[in-house]
Amino acid sequence: MIEISKKWKQAAAVSAGMSLALGAAAQLLLPATSVAQAAEPASPDLAFVCTAQIAQSVAASLPTTVTVQPIKNGPFRDATRYVAATGSRPAYCQVTGSFVTNPASGKTANFLATFPAAWNGKYMQLGCSGHCGQFYVSDPATPSIVVTAQGHPGQLVEKGYATFATDEGHVGMDGASWAVKDGKVDQDYVDDWMFRADKVLAHMGKSFTTAFYGRLSGAAQTISHAYFNGCSGGGRDAMVVASYFPEEFDGIIAGSPYNPLGMDLQASMTAIAAHSAPDAALTPALLALMDKVVKNQCDALDGVKDGLIQNPAACNFRPERDLPHCATGTSGNQCFTTHQMETVGTIIHAVTDQQGHVVQTGYSASELQETGGGLAMLTDPTLKILVHHNDPAYSIASSFSFRYGGPGPVTGYHAVVTDAEVAAMRSALSAGAGHIPANAGQLMASHTKLMIWHNFSDEKLTPFNSINWYKQLAHDHGGYASVQDKARLFMLPGTGHCSISGIAPNSFDAISAMESWVEKGQAPDSLPASVADHQFTPGAAKAPALLTPNYTMPLCKFPEMARYSGHGDTHDGTNWSCHADDARLLKVGISGREAGVMN
């Protein structure tokens, strides 16, 4: 805690210091502004100001040092890009460049700004994905934005938002090799990724926005509301913002948020378990078989046998008891070997420390699209590079063991991490983790609203992390009714990571809901969800939910669970409703307990 608060004070000092130290530097750059103004008409339009020269002259007036320039990453070959209006989407101007995140070292991060012609007076900062290093899910003009925005492509431009995104200080999305310079970990890069690029951008982006529209309109501008929105790694960004500098934003949306404290353990251990023997890996057919077993047991526990498990934590699934065993010496897609049972256990059961405390929650056992081991590309480097400072002697396997039995609530086959590893992880990564309940005090004391949403069958980032964080928040801050003034959690049953896949309604308008909450005081009790194609990988399989394109259902605020009227089509949202006196999502069965869900 001491380490973290020191880092935040440093970051705050950096922001404040930049205003003072760079004010004079900005004045010196004014001649460039004069040159641009000489050729400028009295009322320039967006196409006129959307040039590198004018954008740089606007940037030169900011307290942060900004260089407008092309970014060698993705489609941004020029420093500025003007796109004319089409249909309901207004014209917009995109600007790329770099900004100094640490004046002491000169460290920079890249940014992507999007300025619509019809500005709504509002600022939106977009989270990144994975360990960042790119803008591909953070470009409000491209289809992939649906992953982070939960809206339709171009929605933010249509709504008139000025948006900013950052690559968090390095180019290229991979585990953590970007942090290694000459064999050593450069903490400047780690800090930018963990928190600093977003913290500095919150100031820079807002001041750039008002300066840009001031230039366009010829009148001083202010920002009416500021928002943050992201999913996955961008959800991590949102949780970091919410925990450590919530006052920068009026509303924060965290989708399927990544908790680097622990997720890395889970994914690494799953990969180790799956490779522990030739017959340990799980095939898609076996995952489907497990899904069938779980669904047979659990579908009706929510009161409606409709093929959808509304509360996976309430299930009572035990892999070694409930899955068909292969006869000794055999394997195949109709049964599980002992090693495969253990891989299943590693996935769906929590990682504990040696005393049995839950360090990382397991995954939901239904609708799993993959085994979580696919994240090893992010997680092994995280542990070796970010936690162990690229120590060549570090061995992941030496920090873990597997066991059946307690102590503690988790008794099925699960991974156990050493206390030293847990301590090292918390020391190295806490400043980049917004999932620490003890650090939510600033949010609870702020005016800021936080909406978390998480897919109940998220195969990459377990939903139970979000549930445990929220349960602890309610425990620490006066109960659910009390914390719902600031923070609301919405769970999406039957859907996968960032709503890209699934069998149930996966799409809802988080941004409009947050606007109503912040700007009109209308807190979201129930959000209508429908089916949309959120997949962004060309050629990837379509989500099964697209087979039922008219499927609608309300999402209820946690701990409420959507209640069926008992009549009519279960795929019709008008037959479902949310009720304030409902707390059925608090029910924890064997599955939830073994996954480490708090009671």
Question: 593: which strand partners?
Answer: none
Query: How far, in Å, CA of 432 to CA of 102, rounded?
Result: 17
Residues 460-499 that bind Ca ion (CB under 5 A): none
Q: How far is the CB of 423 from Ca ion (least distance, A)?
A: 41
What 3-state class would DSSP assign to 182?
coil
What CA–CA distance (Å, rounded) separates 215 from 26?
A: 16
Contact stretch for Ca ion (CB under 5 A) within 33-41, 200-208, 299-307, 474-482: 299-307
Q: Pick out residues in 189-248 that bind Ca ion (CB under 5 A).
A: none
Measured from the CB atom, the residue of 117 and 308 that comes closer to Ca ion is 308
Instruction: Count residues near Ca ion (CB under 5 A).
Output: 5
The C-alpha atoms of residue 376 and residue 373 are separated, in whole angstroms, by 6
Q: What 8-state DSSP symbol labels residue 195? A: I
Q: Judge whether 473 and 273 are in contact, CB under 8 Å.
A: no
Q: Which is nearer to Ca ion, 228 or 576 (CB)?
A: 576
Instruction: Dig out the tokens for 171 from the structure.
Output: 């180019």
Residue of 299, 320, 322, 525 interacting with Ca ion (CB under 5 A): 299
Q: Per rule CB under 5 A, is residue 304 in the interface with Ca ion? A: yes
Question: Quick one: 154 or 505, whose CB is closer to Ca ion?
Answer: 505
From 93-101, 126-134, 307-315, 573-581, span contacting Ca ion (CB under 5 A): 307-315
Closer residue to Ca ion in complex, CB, 5/296: 296
> Judged by CB under 5 A, which of 139, 302, 380, 515 binds Ca ion?
302
- Closest by CA to 200, choosing from 72, 95, 66, is 66
To Ca ion, the closest distance from the beta carbon of 565 in angstroms equals 14
Q: How far is the CB of 529 from Ca ion (least distance, A)?
A: 16
**Looking at 113-121, 295-303, 394-402, 589-597, which segment touches Ca ion (CB under 5 A)?**
295-303
Identify whether the C-beta of residue 251 lies closer than 8 Å to the C-beta of residue 447.
no
Nearest distance in Å: CB 302, Ca ion: 4
Q: Which is nearer to Ca ion, 290 or 513 (CB)?
A: 290
**From CA 463, how far away is CA 101, in angstroms rounded?**
32
Measure the CA angle with vertex 320, ends 316 and 326; round to 5°. 135
Q: Taking the complex as a whole, how short is the minimal distance between the CB of residue 570 and Ca ion, in angstroms? A: 8
Residues 344-373 that bind Ca ion (CB under 5 A): none
Q: Are 135 and 168 in contact (CB under 8 A)?
A: no
| Residue 587 engages Ca ion in binding (rule: CB under 5 A) | no
Specify the residue, 269 or 294, whose C-beta has the smaller distance to Ca ion. Answer: 294
Residues 523-562 that bind Ca ion (CB under 5 A): none
Report which residue type is found at 25.
A
140 in Cβ contact with 154 (< 8 Å): yes
**Going edge to edge, which strands form the sheet with 358-360?**
358-360, 351-353, 414-417, 400-403
The minimum distance between CB 491 and Ca ion, in angstroms, equals 14
Q: Could you tell me where the beta strands, DSSP code E, fall in 69-121?
A: 80-83, 92-102, 107-116
Distance CA(59)–CA(40), nearest Å, equals 17
Q: Whole-number minimum distance, CB 393 to Ca ion, in Å?
A: 50
Q: For 70, phi and psi rounded to 5 degrees?
A: -65, 155
- Pairing between strand 184-185 and 180-181? antiparallel
Minimum CB distance to Ca ion, residue 317 (Å): 15
Closest CA to 486 of 440, 542, 453: 440
Identify the helix (H) or strand (E) that includes residue 485. Answer: none
**Taking the mean position of all CA atoms in its chain, how far away is CA 133?**
15
| Shortest distance (Å) from residue 152 CB to Ca ion | 29
- Among the listed residues 505, 495, 510, 474, the one whose alpha carbon sits nearest the alpha carbon of residue 583: 474
Record the tokens describing residue 407, joined without a space.
């102590």
Residue in this structure with the two tokens 């590893």, named with its chain if needed = 421
Nearer to Ca ion, 308 or 422 (CB): 308
Secondary structure letter of residue 121 according to DSSP: S
Instruction: Mark residues 269-288: x for contact with Ca ion by CB under 5 A, - for none.
Output: --------------------
Query: Which residue number, 229 or 552, has a Cβ lying nearer to Ca ion?
Result: 552
Closest CB to Ca ion among residues 178, 317: 317
From the CB of 361, what's the least distance to Ca ion, in Å? 22
Piece of the chain touching Ca ion by CB under 5 A; list 1-9, 96-104, 118-126, 308-316: 308-316
Nearer to Ca ion, 137 or 562 (CB): 562
Complex with Ca ion: residue 487 or 562, whichever CB lies closer: 562
Q: Which is nearer to Ca ion, 305 or 321 (CB)?
A: 305
CB of 585 to Ca ion, least distance (A): 13
Task: Provide the minimum distance between the beta carbon of 563 and Ca ion in the complex, in angstroms, as a whole number.
Answer: 12
- Where on the chain is the footprint of Ca ion (CB under 5 A)? 299, 302, 304, 306, 308
